[in-house]
Structure 1
Amino acid sequence: MPVHMISRSGNSMSRFSPFVAMFIAVAIFALDTLTTFDMAIAVLYVTVVLLALSFATKKNLLVIGAGCMGLTLLSFAVSHGEDPTSDATARCFVSLSAIGITTFLAYQVKTGIAILRESEQRYRTIFLATGVAILEMDFTLVKAAVHQLKSQGFADIRAVAAKDPSFASKAIAMMKLTKVNNTALTTFSAKDFNTLKAALPTLIGEDMEGAIWALLEAIWDGRPVYESETMMNDVNGDRIAILYNVAMPADRPLLDTVLVSIVDVTARRQAENELHAAHTELAHVTRIATLGELTVSIAHEVNQPLAAIVTNGGAGLRWLKRSAPDLGEVETAMQRMIADAGRASEVIKRLRTLSSKTTPQAAPVNLSEIAAESIALVQREITSHKISLRTELARKLPLVIGDRIQLQQVIINLILNAIQAMADPAVATRTLLIATTRAGDAVQLNVRDSGTGFAATKAAHLFDAFYTTKADGMGMGLSICRSIVTAHGGRISAHSEPGNGASFEFTIPLQEEPVS
């Protein structure tokens, strides 16, 4: 029977129930008063009390119960008031007891119904009005299919995937949508429940296949909750990023009631992408500023091979102008010219790479090699500040996944900070150590100087944006270093004993392939 017909029928019954109860009460009173049956007729008043459950409030229910007891006493007074027998008195007592107990129990039932109704109303309000999309689904067929696969001897869901890759698609078709809230309709741009129900299979794209297999694994293992983040389509075909939670209550082993909570994180993902783009832009600007500080070192690095090219070119010409040209010496001079040109080209190539505005490219890299390239670019700064450089770069360092340019930026920044920390005339011995090593499941790089160090109270703020200990500093270098290292899944830290220098170190975890 349709819901609206049941509702209309229930309303009609509630409307006529008071009249029916009144009629039954009058009939019982008349029968009890005017007849001489040897039985407790007044016990029938319990039907009036029970009928009152459908229309009376808790207070009125007590009034009706008291009224029925009053009618019982009145009938007893009229029929047996002058000469009450022990049997009649006993029947009256039994009737009063039955009516009283029934009224008390009916009152308790009414209270329970009121609590249940309030709870259901609260649940319905939360379900419909919450800002999280909620889908109530029936996974009974999926649970049965998983149970059947287990009975067939499959060890786990991976074995099922290997044997029947199409099972995930079949499972999607088995999932039945039974109820949704208003937020779910808004999230998926559906005008009503039936629209969303009909479109649901098409909303799950191919990129959700991995998430579906993971959900099936959770069902296979009997886990009560599964959570993931993925992309879906809405009814109009637009892509939305969602974070969803599938709750499979332990008290519903057949999974006939499963709640899927969905949060649309499309705007958050867009904001994160924009923030990432801003970080990349800021890192690029900082690299350009760093290159500006290294102008003298860069000029020296380029000038050396160019001067050698001129020298070797002159020597080659002199050998050619001799009365008996020495072609062997000419060839040697030309080879040295080519080698020096290669050196100059490598320097320019590294500079172009650092100054280029490109998106980060994750690839297997050797941190020791990147450190050596970075040292070459700042070698002039190290020499001009009369700093003793010591390197301990591990030769057989495991590869890590990272962006070469960004990691080089971090190392150069840390080296320049160390050089500036030792620029104070009060620093007698200027020693710089750059070391790489493997640290458990990560690769570590350490830059240690013998400068003035920093106070322990400053350690917690060194990597904060716009915090600087330099008079002319911007406070962005170390902040960007932390952002880059964190984006690589690593950590960066600083240690110091005032007067004994500072040590900055960062780690990059070992990975076989970039994390998507």
Structure 2
Amino acid sequence: MVAIAWADAAGMRVANAEAEGGALMKSPDRSFRTQLIGIGLFCLGLVAISTFFLNAYVISGLKEDMKSHALLLAEEQAKRVSDEIQHAVQKHGTLGLQDSKNNPALTQQVEILLQGNKNVMAVCVLDAQGNVVLANTGKNPDLVQLKKDKEGVEAQFDPADFNNIKVRLRTTHPHMQELKIPIGKQNQVIGNVRFLISTSGIYRDIEATATEINHRIWSVVLAFVGVLAIGAFLTAKLFRRQVALMEENEQLDRMAYVGTLASGLAHEIRNPLNAMSINLTVAEEELAAPDMSPETVQRIVGLLRRETDRLGCSVTDFLKFAMPQSFHKEHTELRPVVDAAVDLLYPRIEETSTEIVVNIPEDATVEADFSGLRQVLYNLMLNAIQAMAEQEYGARKLHVGARRESAQWLLWMEDSGPGIAAGEEGKIFEVFHSTKAAGSGFGLAIARAIIQRHGGEITVRRGESGGARFEITLPETGKGWK
């Protein structure tokens, strides 16, 4: 019945482990996909927003640069026309201004200006009263109708220096700008030259250039997004493959672990069964003898009972390890836990004359499961008492103490036994590993599992007296609870 119960429990345990393992693997997979999609959308949005603002910044700067360049070019060309008129005025006076139509050099400069700069729509020469003495609108005769400037011509230059002429722009139309250059002689303004510059042509060029830049920028962005999408797809594919490999490896690890447990348990069960088989054979022979004594029967029955108890203990320890009990965390004082473990071992302590020295501060409180922590201390104390069995009476001492370390408590236990052999420190917590001939190899493995579930750690080293010193660290609060 015991073997069948263990088999059912172990089967349930393995099935639960596989189900939990599958759930644990699927959860990170979904979580990773969700995170990957979120990161991808965030990056895409960031790229789109960055591209929008970058594009707006580049186009805005480009527009200003192109506009300034076009106006500067028109101003330079207008200066040539103005210089030609200024030269005629200096040579012929006001007559040179009035005869601007018959000045071949001036006419040629105006034609070159209108043909060479598509943004200059008209050139007009006016006298001091605002009368038009020369007007050329190029191929757009109806585009601009220049009228007399009733306010006269403002002096936009230094009267003492006609070579330092200032230029003034003013808007005369939503898509036109006027460039006005004064003409003077002998410190007097005798007229001005006006140029009408169309900004619509400039903006058309700007828009065409901006459209081309937009196309190129978005082409680069789309290519970048495509690369990101391919990278995300490959990453997801590699992740799924990695998850599959991890699941396969975990399955192999679980099978290997189950095989190790089964092999160890079979060994622990086989030994008592062999002993029982031998004793039954002896009993059969003894019962067949006519002179069999009652003492012999009692001895054989006692041996069978001892091996049966040993078998039951092995199965019980295995179930404790394979199916750990549920824990209930609460504020637990360490001293009562130690006292409870000592009470359970009191008959063994009295039998072996072991001295227990306990030094636990009154404020030593952790958040732990009382029964689980008592089980750990019970296993450690039992191992210590068994290890000190060969010591002389009066030399069997077990010290238990605790001290605070930062936000945790260090609980230690040191015996006066022979200590841990070199190289065994990392093995004694493994299941089925025992340094005693009659040991099951479960006690320390169960202790480590319980401490780890409390978010703590258990270690062993050689103590100052030469015996084994076990140290347990436990959080002062519920940090790390599993």
TM-score (norm 1): 0.33
TM-score (norm 2): 0.36
Name which one, 1 or 2, has greater alpha-carbon Rg. Answer: 2
Q: Taking CA–CA contacts closer than 8 Å with sequence separation of 6 or more, which of the two structures ends up with the larger relative contact order?
A: 2
